[in-house]
Amino acid sequence: MGRNLKFLIIGGSDAGISAALRARELDPSTAITVVLADGYPNFSICGLPFFLSGETPDWHQLAHRTEFEGIDLLTWHTAMAIDPTKNTVDVVDRENERKRLSYDRLLIATGAVPLIPEIRGIDLPAVYSLHTMDDSFGVQRRLLEASPRSAIIVGAGYIGVEMADALVHRGLQVTLVGRTRSVLATVDPELGDTVGDELRRHKVDVITNVEITAIESSKCLRVSGTNGFEQSADLVLLATGVKAASQLAVQAGISTGQKGAIQVDQSMRTNIPDIYAAGDCVETWHRVLQQYKYLPLGTTSHKQGRVAGENAVGGNRKFAGCVGTQVVKVFDLAAARTGLREQEAKAAGFKPLTVETVAWDHKVYYPGAQEMRIRVTGDIVSGRLLGAQIAGHWRSEVAKRNDIFATALFHGMSVEDFNDLDLSYTPPLSSPWDPVQLAAQAWCRKASSR
């Protein structure tokens, strides 16, 4: 490891702080500086819906950590320019004072920014996006001071469905508007419909196949869109996705790829010496596809940051890649996915087959058993597992059963291999054949009959 190295990190969220902690752990002599555009280092942005729902009433609890010994946090400073020829970064503070910081190694961990659609009226008061701590404070002030009774959420992805849950928890009448055929388009429509049904069961008005085009202000906000959609609300929340915050990197001559995300190798190095990048601003190596994709996920950001931090101080670690593992809780339902859906597998050149199974989460004679829907996608030529999706009660270990599939994908297992897994069993928690194994057996029966 190098001695007295200057390691400069732009961005203090998941990837940036993970890199700083790993570098500090491996080489305490390294001078580590983290430049933050705000004052909330390593806060859980994924926790914002639960702060706004009131389930996590104190926003300070969203901090992953509060101790940063040996790490210099430069809060409320915005990086303006990188000069790779001089190994410097220009930053500006809230008083518009400019500073020039030098580095031996630089990590760009600028994350993502909201993907704001072209909608007339999105700058009106009471129209919010939700991506930062300050965004959440704005929404919270509106909820407390204006006491809105209704809200329209534009976007039916993860944040959209979570915020529908959160605002219903706060007593609002919620309309969720998505432009796809079903909500949560990252899972198959059959499971997306299940999520939609759960939302409707809790009185959320779910509107699909509609694209919002305009927001107008009168006594409240009037929202209109395609297919004749028109509705009023006291508050509008934009949850329309994100894009890589890569402009700083582009200006420095760093290469970008899919959706403008920074191109890196598996060591998290960019095309410019001594500059690394990690987190939601970069392309991610996908283990199943064996190619880079733009797939911004918090879990991935933590791992990439750790790899970048280790390598910045002389290590030689590679990011092993991800398989796209995700889960979301919506009221009493959890929906999860990992790997490839059937159409993604086809596009990648596989011969996929998807089979759905309905199974009890534990022995039905023990009280409280709930049904789970499990969709397994495998390659009918090789028998290899390609992906899985699960929907069920949030207490049914949906996430952890999805993680079994994710682990199998990570190690390239076949669907048949699930029969050999030694999984835990007791009647209140599972069955002698766990639901994931029953789903795998159903897939194998179907595949053998083709």
pLDDT for residue 450 is more than 90: no
**Whole-angstrom distance, CA of residue 414 vs CA of residue 405:** 10
pLDDT tens digits, 97-125? 999 999 999 999 999 999 989 999 999 99
| Model pLDDT, residue 4 | 83
Cβ–Cβ < 8 Å for 99, 208: no
Amino acid in the structure at residue 339: G
Contact 132, 36 (CB under 8 A): no
User: Can you tell me the distance from the alpha carbon of 203 to that of 209, in angstroms, rounded to the nearest whole number?
Assistant: 19
At residue 66, the pLDDT reads 87
CATH architecture for segment(s) 333-448? 2-Layer Sandwich (3.30)
> Phi and psi (nearest 5°) for 336?
-140, 155
321 band by pLDDT with thresholds 50, 70 and 90? very high
- The pairs formed by 133-141 with CB atoms below 8 angstroms and a separation of 24 or more are 133/38, 133/40, 133/43, 133/45, 133/48, 133/59, 133/62, 134/38, 135/48, 136/48, 136/51, 136/52, 136/59, 137/59, 139/52, 139/235, 139/237, 140/51, 140/52
d(CA 321, CA 303): 9
The answer to whether residues 150 and 234 touch, using CB atoms and an 8 Å cutoff, is yes
Using alpha carbons only, what angle is made at residue 136 by residues 133 and 138, rounded to the nearest 5 degrees? 115
Q: Buried b vs exposed e over 90-128: b needs ≥16 C-beta within 10 Å?
A: ebbeeeeeeeebebbbbbbbbbbbbeeeebebbeeebbb
pLDDT tens string 44-92: 999 999 999 999 999 999 999 888 999 999 999 999 999 999 999 999 9
Q: How many angstroms separate the CA atoms of 394 and 397, rounded?
A: 7
Look up residue 404 and give its two tokens.
């079994």
The pairing of strands 230-233 and 221-225 is: antiparallel
Give me the sign of the Cα torsion angle 303, 304, 306, 311.
positive
Task: Express as a percent the part of the chain with pLDDT over 70.
Answer: 99
Number of C-beta neighbours around residue 415 at 10 A: 28
pLDDT score of 339 more than 70: yes
Among 46, 220, 281, 444, the active-site one is 46
Q: How far apart are CA 381 and CA 35, in angstroms?
A: 50
What six digits make up the tokens of 84? Answer: 């790779």
Tokens of 416: 């048949």
Domain with CATH 3.50.50.60 in the chain: 6-45+62-112+243-312, 127-240
pLDDT tens-place string over residues 234-275:
999 999 999 999 999 999 999 999 999 999 999 999 999 999
pLDDT in tens, 347-404: 999 999 999 999 999 999 999 999 999 999 999 999 999 999 999 999 999 999 999 9
Q: What is the CATH number of domain 6-45+62-112+243-312?
A: 3.50.50.60
The per-residue pLDDT for range 167-201, each reduced to its tens digit, is: 999 999 999 999 999 999 999 999 999 999 999 99
**Neighbour-count burial of 278, counting CB atoms closer than 10 A to its CB (0-12 exposed, 13-18 middle, 19+ buried):** buried
What architecture does CATH give domain 127-240? Answer: 3-Layer(bba) Sandwich (3.50)
Give the residue from 237, 227, 116 showing the smallest Cα distance to 181: 227
In degrees, rounded to 5, the angle at the alpha carbon of residue 258 between the alpha carbons of residues 257 and 262 is: 45
In this prediction, residue 297 has a pLDDT band, given cuts at 50, 70 and 90, of very high
What pLDDT is attached to residue 51? 97
Cβ distance 48 to 63 under 8 Å? no
For residue 142, the tally of other CB atoms under 10 A from its CB is 18
Whether the CA torsion 338, 343, 344, 345 is positive or negative: it is: positive
Please report how the helices 435-448 and 398-410 are oriented relative to each other, as an axis angle in degrees rounded to 10.
50
- Can you tell me the distance from the alpha carbon of 415 to that of 339, in angstroms, rounded to the nearest whole number? 13
Is 220 catalytic? The answer is no
Residue 389 phi/psi, 5-degree rounding, is -140, 145
Average pLDDT, the chain: 96
What are 423's two structure tokens? Answer: 């999984």
1 pLDDT tier (thresholds 50, 70, 90): very low
Residues 6+ apart with CB under 8 A from 39: 75, 76
For residues 4-33, average pLDDT: 96
Residue 219 — very low, low, confident or very high, per pLDDT cuts 50/70/90?
A: confident
For CATH 3.30.390.30, the residue range(s) in the chain are 333-448
Model confidence band, residue 3 (pLDDT cutoffs 50, 70, 90): low
Q: Which residue has the tokens 């929906």?
A: 335
**What number is the average pLDDT over the span 147-171?**
97
